Amino acid sequence: MDKKIYSIPNLLSLLRLALVPELAISAFLNEANIFLLFLAICLLSDLLDGFFARKLHQVTEFGARLDSWADMATYAMMILGLYLIWP
């Protein structure tokens, strides 16, 4: 595998993807504080992955797709969580 796959921006996007199930679980269990903590981590990692990709010259097509997948999953779970916790 290409070493560019294991870059800081991609790892941040993978972190965001890994937290999506935790967002879902905390939303279904109505754990608002845990949900908001995981959501804040996801949103912060979304800001940082783009910053580091540009700053470290690690912009790749794979990284852009991974970021988009993580964004879609995060925002979908955010909407579901907001609906379940604060209907």
Residue range 10-27, pLDDT digits in tens: 999 999 999 999 999 999
pLDDT above 90: percentage of residues in the chain: 92
- The pTM for the full model equals 0.89
Sign of CA dihedral 82, 27, 49, 3: negative
* Three-class DSSP category at 60: coil
Instruction: Answer positive or negative: Cα dihedral of 42, 43, 48, 49.
Output: positive
- Residue 58 in 3-state DSSP? coil
